[in-house]
Chains A and B, each alone.
Chain A
């Protein structure tokens, strides 16, 4: 089974801190995604990547950046955390070819609280 591992389940950070959320997958998937999940808003795509060193903005990229230096690792960076970035963050991965034949595999999520 594909495993998508997010480094932290719970994080508490202070306003203005630089925050790194790490995601690692072990099945050589090309695609990786970062979503945030908020009650009543569902999943919103922040950034995604089709390949190493490649990134594309999703629907809500403001206040975030990403890094993909290795195929298996996709990092989400909050340059200066704010309270409105308190949320559940979900990482996912998929194949590039035939991605939609198999869907996405999700990590367990990181619940971030910014105080």
Chain B
């Protein structure tokens, strides 16, 4: 069965420092991978996704993630943290789906709360 592990429930960085949020997955089918961001008291917003093709994916707000099949990882990075990046981040992987292909459901990790210190 598909699963997602996010290493670290809380990550704290200083403003201007590198942001690295870790995500490892297991999947019996070629995975679709997603990162979502949730600001306080809001729903989840799509940050970026990997479906096929280029393994380095760029998203909104300067974030990017690299799909590494050999490491079953999809870590999220941003070169320089900003105070507005403080939020909770969720990694998600597709399951095999009832109909297969691109019709599966998403399985979410438990989330990583990012704090940014001035």
**Chain B proximity of A15: nearest CB distance (Å):** 25
**Interface residue B17 (Cβ < 8 Å from any Cβ of A):** no
Partner of B51, one of A33, A101, A106: A101
Give the chain B neighbours of A42 by CB distance below 8 A. Answer: 90, 108-111
Spell out A's residues near B (CB within 8 Å).
Answer: 4, 9, 33, 35, 40-43, 45, 48, 50, 90, 92, 96-101, 103-109, 111
Complex Cα spacing A33 to B43, Å: 13
**Chain A proximity of B40: nearest CB distance (Å):** 11
**Interface residue B104 (Cβ < 8 Å from any Cβ of A):** yes
Give the chain B neighbours of A9 by CB distance below 8 A. Answer: 41
Give the chain A neighbours of B55 by CB distance below 8 A. Answer: none
Q: Give the size of the chain B interface in residues (CB under 8 angstroms).
A: 25
Give the chain A neighbours of B49 by CB distance below 8 A. Answer: 103
Give the chain A neighbours of B103 by CB distance below 8 A. Answer: 96-100
**Chain A proximity of B49: nearest CB distance (Å):** 6
Given contacts A100-B32, A101-B102, contact A43 B90 (CB under 8 A): yes
Complex Cα spacing A54 to B90, Å: 28
Contact A90 B104 (CB under 8 A): no
Complex Cα spacing A99 to B104, Å: 7
**Chain A proximity of B81: nearest CB distance (Å):** 23
**Interface residue B25 (Cβ < 8 Å from any Cβ of A):** no
**Chain B proximity of A111: nearest CB distance (Å):** 8
Contact B104 A106 (CB under 8 A): no
Complex Cα spacing A52 to B110, Å: 30
Give the chain B neighbours of A103 by CB distance below 8 A. Answer: 34, 36, 46, 49, 106
**Chain B proximity of A8: nearest CB distance (Å):** 13
